Chain A
């Protein structure tokens, strides 16, 4: 009986340690989005040049919606050339890249677009409604939409060539809606 008690106390620490080991290994940033697999929320914003930018006009295409900000260094600075390069490479194949600039100053956003020579449409989400609609909790976050307009992949952090190509190629390979 006494020997059992002596073992029981250190043994009680095992589940606590296991819980802590698990807790410290998972990143609190990796939160699965409940939106994956669901239709992407529609939005209409104005581009930095003042033209309307809506999701509806790109139905039937593979759409890459990228949330960014000019103050988001270095991740947004790393992925900007990647997005521009792949937008140029894929635009003829029915792929659209839309940039949504959040919590930013207009001048800073314009400078960012100019510095990286971005040619894909970029709009500012001034009131944050689109960000919340997409459940965005930081920048950069990128949503890959299939031709039916469903969110298929949510990527948190800078998009790499590899992520962009494998995801978009997979979505392009799927049959287009009738």
Chain B
């Protein structure tokens, strides 16, 4: 009885290792650069303002392993990113996709810079106009030059 059990276990172990070897052959070689690029776009969920690529936390390490595993199973980088978005929502993406309401995030800084430049341009135009006005020569008529001459003589 126990011998049968031993044989069964041995056969199962052999089958198991054979299966593992087969699956290892099926898995595609994974480019670490691709893993890094996917991880760099994902927010580390247990950190403040860090990507999964940059965080040394265990959660991020596990996420990188999951990315690697999914790529090895033949998933495209886009599909791997979609998987994370499905689970965590768009929140997990460090840069929000450029569509819909999110466009506001991309456009508002440009609008602000344009408005700022416009204000600066208006102010500069106004200031230079005033400065030019101030620098205009004072018209001195005959009566005025007579008065200046008199006052200078009196002073000496």
Contacts and interface: CB of A to CB of B under 8 A. Distances in A.
A34 B93 CA distance: 14
A31 B66 CA distance: 22
Interface string A138-157: 10000000000000000000
B91 to A, nearest CB: 5
Contacts of A137: 45-46, 59, 88
A156 B43 CA distance: 19
Contact of A134 (B66, B87, B89, B91): B87
B109 to A, nearest CB: 13
Nearest to A102: B59
A3 interface: no
A127 B63 CA distance: 9
Contacts of A134: 87
Interface of B: 45-46, 58-59, 62-63, 65-66, 84-89, 91
Q: Which 8 A-B pairs have the closest CB atoms?
A: A128-B62, A137-B45, A135-B87, A34-B89, A135-B88, A103-B58, A31-B91, A132-B66
24 contacts: A31-B88, A31-B89, A31-B91, A33-B88, A33-B89, A34-B85, A34-B88, A35-B87, A103-B59, A103-B62, A128-B58, A128-B63, A131-B62, A132-B63, A132-B87, A133-B87, A134-B87, A135-B87, A135-B88, A135-B89, A137-B45, A137-B46, A137-B59, A138-B45
Interface of A: 31-35, 103, 127-129, 131-138
